[in-house]
Amino acid sequence: MKRILYLATAVLLLAFASCKDDSGVAPQAFSELSYSSDYGAVIITYKVPVDSNFYYVDVDWTDAAKKPRRVQASVYAADAVTKKVDVTCDGFSDTHDYVFTLTPYSFDGTPGQSQSITGHALPPAYEAVLETIEVSPGLHGAVVTWTNATGKNIQIEVRYTEGTQQVSKTFNAPGEQTDGQAVIQGLAPGNQQFVVLTKDSYNNVSEEKSASVTVIADLAGEALLDRNIWSVPGYNPASNNATIGYSSQAVNDNGEVVHLFDDNLNSFWHSSWSNPDLDYPHWLIIDLGREQTISRVEMCKRQGSNTSMQKGYQLQTCTTAGTNYPANNVNPTWTWTEQGTFSFDPTINDMQSVHVVATPRAQYLRIYFPSSAKGTSKYAMVGELKVYGKD
Ligand SMILES: [Ca+2]
């Protein structure tokens, strides 16, 4: 009896296994296999068949380090009209030919007929970006500029010596932004050596490139910019709410934005703390009246014992006014250039002065208080704001 039971189980298992084999219907072959070259990438294209059983394709290749690489592409990635799928195979550091093998699979994982194609990438994006990097002398610092037309995210590392300290700073050059700028602050005037290199997200690293600049001590002819011609875009003295030119103000607390430049240390701008009660980030835009060169920014705190305000800020400039609210950055029309991140001591009543390293030409100055600069309260406050430079 026991023996019969074993036999029956074996027969059942066999039946199940063969049934499973029978259900594995291979997908139909894809067609029109081709490739194109991109920066550090090969884009494989194929047309999916009219086959409800066709699910996905594995694209396999062996990279320069002899490691197997695979990208999977679903049938749902196919263009609705052309029925073509583009598969980006990324991370190439050379322009050699590679063999890509594509294997289609059905919904139950049954493989179909593999096809291969040989293709090569364009030089990698990090090399293209490295060629565009320039290090220019700045005011108590240096300005690093680049162009990233590759659409790929790249990191730029800058190494230099500060006193006896070896310093390394890394800046992001995102693919969606063509022209970038970063500043290195706090360098002693005089000759300074830099080493720059670039990296991508696949741990590919470029060769090193050297730069030598003479850090500038002073902007010749620097003067206090005329604050009588300043304004704040969209200023509304009757409301606390954000406008195109600021994140909020506290009208009921005499905290209007125009108190930033009324030559009175004791009057101040205060972000809205009631109706609405707003947390960071906070920000302000100053219209300097006309395009001028900016070399230094000075701010003082809301005078007195309150030390709950911001501990730092970012400076950004632009030459042409935008039309959108910069806060939500929907359809951004302001093109801000980063001028650096600065610390602010909320315990000091005196003006606190910072060098604007790149000495940009600009009409609009944005002071941005990010969440990372939040003090012990939700609010930002500034007593006076002065800008130095020249016409
Ligand atoms: Ca004031």
pLDDT digits (tens, 9 = 90+) for 62-103: 999 999 999 999 999 999 999 999 999 998 989 999 999 999
Domains 31-119 and 125-215 share a fold: yes
**Considering only 108-112, 169-173, 322-326, which range has the smallest mean pLDDT?**
322-326
| Span from the CA of 236 to the centroid of ligand 1 (angstroms) | 17
Rounded to whole angstroms, the Cα distance separating 377 from 356 reads 28
Q: Are 122 and 94 in contact (CB under 8 A)?
A: no
| Span from the CA of 258 to the centroid of ligand 1 (angstroms) | 8
For the residues 197-205, what does the mean pLDDT come to? Answer: 90
| Span from the CA of 166 to the centroid of ligand 1 (angstroms) | 41
Note the pLDDT of residue 8.
Answer: 45
Note the pLDDT of residue 204.
Answer: 87
Note the pLDDT of residue 68.
Answer: 97
| Span from the CA of 279 to the centroid of ligand 1 (angstroms) | 22
Res. 168: pLDDT tops 70: yes
Rounded to whole angstroms, the Cα distance separating 13 from 7 reads 10
pLDDT tier, 377 (very low <50, low <70, confident <90, very high otherwise): very high
Cα 313 versus chain centre, distance: 18
For the residues 217-239, what does the mean pLDDT come to? Answer: 96
| Span from the CA of 259 to the centroid of ligand 1 (angstroms) | 4
Q: How many CB atoms lie within 10 A of CB 55?
A: 19
Note the pLDDT of residue 9.
Answer: 45
| Span from the CA of 322 to the centroid of ligand 1 (angstroms) | 26
CA distances from 276 to 39, 163, 254, 310, 325 (A): 48, 47, 15, 19, 17
For the residues 56-61, what does the mean pLDDT come to? Answer: 98
CA distances from 232 to 13, 102, 224, 352 (A): 80, 59, 18, 22
- Domain positions in the chain are 31-119, 125-215, 223-390
If one compares 329 and 376, the residue with the highest pLDDT of the two is: 376
Res. 20: pLDDT tops 90: no
pLDDT tier, 22 (very low <50, low <70, confident <90, very high otherwise): very low
| Span from the CA of 332 to the centroid of ligand 1 (angstroms) | 30
Rounded to 5 degrees, what angle do the CA atoms 355, 359, 360 make?
130
Please state the φ and ψ torsions of residue 119, each to the nearest 5 degrees. -155, 165
**What percent of the chain lies above the pLDDT cut of 70?**
92
Nearest to 132 by CA among 61, 205, 198: 198
Three-state SS at 40: coil
Note the pLDDT of residue 329.
Answer: 57
Topology, domain 223-390: Jelly Rolls (2.60.120)
- Encode pLDDT of 101-149 as tens digits: 999 999 999 999 999 999 999 999 999 999 999 999 999 999 999 999 9
Note the pLDDT of residue 141.
Answer: 97
| Span from the CA of 301 to the centroid of ligand 1 (angstroms) | 10
Span 125-215 CATH architecture: Sandwich (2.60)
Rounded to two decimals, what is the model's pTM? 0.76
Q: How many CA atoms lie within 13 A of 23 on its CB side?
A: 9
Please give the CATH superfamily to which domain 31-119 belongs: Immunoglobulins (2.60.40.10)
| Span from the CA of 343 to the centroid of ligand 1 (angstroms) | 20
Note the pLDDT of residue 4.
Answer: 45
Q: Bridge-partner residues for 170, per DSSP?
A: 157
Rounded to whole angstroms, the Cα distance separating 190 from 124 reads 35
Rounded to whole angstroms, the Cα distance separating 121 from 292 reads 45
Please state the φ and ψ torsions of residue 67, each to the nearest 5 degrees. -95, 140
Res. 2: pLDDT tops 60: no
Rounded to whole angstroms, the Cα distance separating 166 from 159 reads 7
Res. 10: pLDDT tops 90: no
pLDDT tier, 331 (very low <50, low <70, confident <90, very high otherwise): low
| Span from the CA of 27 to the centroid of ligand 1 (angstroms) | 73
| Span from the CA of 254 to the centroid of ligand 1 (angstroms) | 10
| Span from the CA of 150 to the centroid of ligand 1 (angstroms) | 46
For CA atoms 316, 354, 253, 375, the dihedral sign is positive
Note the pLDDT of residue 13.
Answer: 43
Note the pLDDT of residue 326.
Answer: 60
Find the Cα–Cα–Cα–Cα dihedral 225, 228, 231, 235, rounded to 10°: 150
| Span from the CA of 115 to the centroid of ligand 1 (angstroms) | 72
Q: Which helix (H) or strand (E) holds 8?
A: helix 2-23
| Span from the CA of 300 to the centroid of ligand 1 (angstroms) | 9
| Span from the CA of 257 to the centroid of ligand 1 (angstroms) | 9
- Encode pLDDT of 258-298 as tens digits: 999 999 999 999 999 999 999 999 999 999 999 999 999 99
Nearest to 30 by CA among 94, 73, 93, 66: 73
